[in-house]
């Protein structure tokens, strides 16, 4: 699986949009970008994933650059409860591949939302 | 529907002992993965099971083992515990066996080895 690079920490004011970048310059054509977050002392929570098109769900939006070498997770109106570690993970969608469901977590970005 | 359930939530063991942790996946999910989280190493993949078969294994010593039952529930066992095994152990379930689809994590079991 491709390696990702994220800033170690970011701050955001409550009510503003939080834009979390992720670099995955070695991503392959069959690899998806996944985002998870982990609120203190809880298990990671799935947020969103995408291949090459922008994606949006009730939690966030995912913007993937045209060359797919980087992406941005957008939390449109951050709240204090969004304070967490955010992980960007690149993973192959390869039926029958040996990686199966393995997630390779990096250090992530600590997002702090302040009042 | 109920989420991923891990038991126990907290555990204290002595060096040299063994421990068994349990994970009940979301109903209908057949794939279960285990992860270890420590402050120094972060989240690391231990192994994954599907249909009672181990499909993938991380880089951990043989003291770490697991199994999956026919009802998809899974257990992991750590023998001859070491202080460094103190960690949050997380279980994740997925619907199918292939790489696609999101994983749903439990709250974890916090193991302290003294």
Binned average pLDDT, 10 residues per bin, chain A of 115 residues: 89 97 92 93 92 93 96 97 96 60 90 97
pLDDT value at residue A68: 95
Nearest to A100 among B56, B106, B108 (CB): B56
What tens digit of pLDDT does each residue of B30-52 get?
999 999 999 989 999 999 999 89
**Mean pLDDT of the region B15-37:** 96
Residue of A nearest to B106 (CA): A43
Average pLDDT over residues B9-13: 97
Give the per-residue pLDDT at B1: 61
Nearest to B25 by CA among A99, A88, A93, A43: A43
Q: Do A46 and B102 touch (CB under 8 A)?
A: yes
Facing A101 at nearest CB: one of B43, B90, B94:
B94
Q: How far is CA A71 from CA A16, A32, A76, A104, B48, in A?
A: 19, 11, 15, 17, 28
User: Which of A42, A94, A96 lies at the smallest CB-CB distance from B107?
Assistant: A42
| Separation of alpha carbons B69 and B81, rounded Å | 24
Six-digit token pair at B80? 């001859």
Write down the residue that tokens 């079991």 correspond to: B109
Q: Which positions ≥6 away from B19 have C-beta within 8 Å?
A: B11, B13, B77, B78, B81, B111
pLDDT band at B53 (very low <50, low <70, confident <90, very high): very high
């Amino acid at each position: 699986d491709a390696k990702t690079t994220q800033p170690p920490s970011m701050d955001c004011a409550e009510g503003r949009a939080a834009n979390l970048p992720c670099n995955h310059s070695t991503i392959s054509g069959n690899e998806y970008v996944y985002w998870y977050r982990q609120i203190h002392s809880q298990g990671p929570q799935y947020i969103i994933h995408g291949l090459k098109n922008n994606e949006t769900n009730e939690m966030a939006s995912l913007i993937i650059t045209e060359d797919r070498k980087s992406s941005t997770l957008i939390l449109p109106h951050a709240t204090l409860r969004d304070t967490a570690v955010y992980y960007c993970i690149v993973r192959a969608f390869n039926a029958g591949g040996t990686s199966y469901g393995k997630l390779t977590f990096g250090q992530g970005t600590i997002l702090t939302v302040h009042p | 529907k109920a989420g991923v359930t891990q038991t126990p939530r907290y555990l204290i063991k002595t060096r040299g002992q063994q421990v068994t942790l349990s994970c009940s996946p979301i109903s209908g999910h057949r794939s279960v993965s285990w992860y270890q989280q420590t402050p120094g190493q972060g989240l690391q993949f231990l192994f994954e099971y599907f249909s009672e078969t181990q499909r993938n294994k991380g880089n951990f010593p043989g003291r770490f083992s697991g199994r999956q039952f026919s009802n998809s529930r899974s257990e992991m066992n750590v023998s001859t515990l070491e202080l460094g095994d103190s960690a949050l152990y997380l279980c994740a379930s997925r619907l199918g066996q292939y790489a696609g689809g999101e994983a749903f994590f439990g709250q974890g079991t916090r193991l302290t080895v003294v």
